[in-house]
Every structure is written in structure tokens, then in C-alpha cells.
Amino acid sequence: MQPRPSNCPRLGSELAGCLGARRASVLGLVFGILSSVLLAAESPRVTLTRTPDGGIQPQTAVDSKGVVHMIYYKGEGGAGDIFYVRQAPGETTFSTPIQVNSQPQSAIAAGSIRGAHLAVGKQGRVHVAWDGMGKGAIQATSGGRKVTPFLYTRMNDAGTGFEPERNLITYAYGLDGGGSVAADLQGNVYAFWHAPKPGNTNGEAGRALFVARSTDDGKTFGREKLCLDQPTGACGCCGMKAFANGQGRLFAFYRAASEKVNREELLLVSRNGGTDFEVAFSHPWKTAACPMSSAFLSESKAGVLAAWETGGKIYFAPMDPTTLKISEPVSPLGGTKGKHPVAVGNAQGEVLLAWTEGTGWQKGGAVAWQLYDQAGRPTAEKGRADGVPVWGLVSAFVKPDGSFVVVY
């Protein structure tokens, strides 16, 4: 005789009851999973949507008229193109894509931190900059050797396309992961990237952040300059984010690499249009390995929102734009591990934090998000959905009614 199952104490008539309980348990689990998926996709405050045209690495910005501007990447990991779309208030679909780069396959997606960055400036003009590692990029040379350019373009005056891209680096070559662009409403455009200091012999600890400024809405740029005199290093294959807010402050967020193991996330602020910078915030992380992380900055009622990764966890914190004091960093409940966070806020003071989970080198994953109330407390509205492709990122923006959209 076979032994009875330990969780079914009697056979015969009670066997059906045991099997029924199991069936009910399985059905309950299935319904629970389905309910979680539906909640993630049908939250009243947060909508999930895919990047248009099968693209990856969406970047979004909303201008003063409520127009959503988006760029995204299409192509192989090491050779692709950047496309631009827009969506006016009240519309439910994006416009017909316009190719941003005039040199085909000049962009790169590999690593998820070398892609294009987007900024919207004076009179809604769109500015785009990217790491020119793609095999079709403009060839740049320095000292007789090929070097990686940092490519920039802006929308033409008619708003129908983009000007031919150009390399903004004049001497600070050595670009790897970190480059970004910012623009303000006064016609200033700022291009940032990190690279070795001239004559550097100290590896990543000798890298630094540089900025090139345009005062004519991106028509011309001055020669790049060092942001800080103090040595901070820069994690070579980590991304960064630049941002200019409505109060004339300029921000740059990047990962340092002093003494090779001090890879804290540093937030620099300039009060005078990029002439001088100061360290406004530092979040320590000791690790000898490059985490290939990204950072994010945006503006909201709560202040300037910063989002970043430390120790495999993602964080966000608002900064008072006047005092430059940053609040205590917040991470999702449960210490969720994640990468590539973005944080956006609405006029009601709510903040949406979104990020990827399970993504890595040549590995896709999931998108996750958590909504926080005006006091910075996590609400019941949160979710997770599979489908972030290889080299994928997430983006988010706020709709005119204060609800949120996550693009992945």
C-alpha cells in the first residue's frame, strides 16, 4: 500500500476535498497574479505604454505648453538611429517619427547608458546630444588617433527636422558612458560629458566633468571647461544627467570614482549659468566595479527631483531650488533592487518613481513603479510589468490632469 500524502490525512471521500482545496489554492494564486498584472496596467493614476515604433530607450520632456517631446532609439546595439515624436495636449497618439541624426547609425544603445539625451529650451526648441560611438558617426581624431565624438543637434527653425549633428569636443576626449544636455528658457544650452583630464595618468580617478555652453540657443558653443577643480574622478562607463530649472540653476548628476572605490553619486549645482559649480549632494557607495548606472533630474512642485542608484537600490529625493537643500533620500519599500530610475512630479505634489528590474548586459527585464503622495509617503498605487527589451530604459511624464504615463 502506498503511503498517504501527509497533507491528505484520509483517503476515500476526503481525497476529493483535498484535491478541491489544492485546485482552489492554485486558482486563487492564478487570480492573484492576474489581479496584480491588471492593477499594474490599469491604475487610475498611472498608465503604462510601449515606446513608439518598436523603439527602445525613450526620453521624454514636457514643455510649458504641455506638449510631450520624445526621442527613442532603433537599430542594433552598436549602430542605430534616433527618432523624435511629439504629442500635443488632448491628443492620444504621437506624431510621425522624424529621424534626428543625419549620419545613419551614428548612435549606440549598448550598455543602456550611452544613448541620446533630450532637452527642451527657449520657445520649445528641442536639443539632442549623444555618444558618437555608433559605426556611422562622424569620425573625430585627436593627436593622430581616432576618438569618440559627443554629437549635438537641435531642431531647425521651422520645426520640421533637425540640423546636421556636430561634435562639441575640442580637447577633452575620452568620452565613454557619461554625456547629457540641458537647456533653459533664456536660450542657454549646456552640453556635459566626463573624460580624462589632459595628461591624466590616474585612470578613472583622473577623469572629470566638463561643460560646453551655448548662449545663442545652440547655434554655437564655446570651448569646454572643467566643472570642478577638486578631484572627484568619474566612473567611465556610468551615465549622467544634466538639467536646467526655471529658477536659473544648472545641475549635473554623475558618479564619481576617487581612489577607484569611492563611487558616490555627486550632484553639482551652478548658480551662475555654468561659470562655477559646487557639490550640493553626495550619496556614498564603495565598490571597485563599474555599476553602469544612470541618473535622472526633473522639476516639479516638490522641487528639483533627483533619482539615482546606490548599492543596487534606486532612490529619489527632492531638492529645494532656492536653498539647494536636498531631502532625505527615499527608496521603494522592501529595498527593491533596480536600475535606471526616473522621477517626475505633478502640480498636486505627487511623485512617480519608475525603474527597471532584472536588466543587465544583453539582458532585458521589467518596468516597475511606485507613486508617492504629497508628503513623500508611498501610496497603494504601484506595479510591475515584464517586457523591457535588451538595452531598454524607462521614461515618464505627467499629463495635464496630473496623472502619469510610464514609457518602456
- How far, in Å, CA of 178 to CA of 302, rounded? 27
The cell 539615482 sits on which residue? 308
Q: Which domain holds residue 30?
A: 1-42
**Is residue 351 in a domain?**
yes
Q: What SS3 state is found at 204?
A: helix
**Is residue 312 in a domain?**
yes
Same domain, 78 and 37: no
Distances (CA, A) of 239 to 16, 214, 252, 255, 390: 59, 22, 11, 8, 17
**Is residue 117 in a domain?**
yes
What is residue 29's predicted lDDT score, i.e. its pLDDT? 38
What is residue 170's predicted lDDT score, i.e. its pLDDT? 96
Same domain, 271 and 349: yes
Q: Which residues is 318 bridged to in the sheet?
A: 305
3-state secondary structure 287-300: CCCCCCCCCEEEEE
pLDDT digits (tens), the chain, 408 positions: 333 333 333 333 333 443 344 443 333 433 343 333 434 455 789 999 999 999 999 999 999 999 999 999 999 999 999 999 999 999 999 999 999 999 999 999 999 999 999 999 999 999 999 999 998 888 888 888 889 999 999 999 999 999 999 999 999 999 999 899 999 999 999 999 999 999 998 999 999 999 999 999 999 999 999 999 999 999 999 999 999 998 889 999 999 998 878 999 999 999 999 999 999 999 999 998 889 999 999 999 889 999 999 999 999 999 998 899 999 999 997 767 899 999 999 999 999 999 999 999 999 999 999 999 999 999 999 999 999 999 999 999 999 999 999 999
What is residue 44's predicted lDDT score, i.e. its pLDDT? 83
Same domain, 198 and 221: yes
Same domain, 34 and 174: no
Same domain, 258 and 370: yes
Same domain, 37 and 141: no
Same domain, 163 and 76: yes
Query: Which domain CATH number covers 177?
Result: 2.120.10.30
Count other Cβ atoms within 10 Å, centred on residue 390.
Answer: 16
Same domain, 13 and 58: no
Number of domains in the chain: 2
Report the DSSP pairing between strands 98-99 and 207-214.
Answer: unpaired
What is residue 30's predicted lDDT score, i.e. its pLDDT? 37
**Is residue 56 in a domain?**
yes
Same domain, 75 and 117: yes
**Is residue 387 in a domain?**
yes
**Is residue 47 in a domain?**
no
Q: Which helix (H) or strand (E) holds 80?
A: strand 79-87
**Is residue 283 in a domain?**
yes
Same domain, 36 and 56: no
Same domain, 160 and 13: no
Q: Are 237 and 249 in contact (CB under 8 A)?
A: no
Same domain, 111 and 34: no
- Quote the DSSP letter at residue 188: -
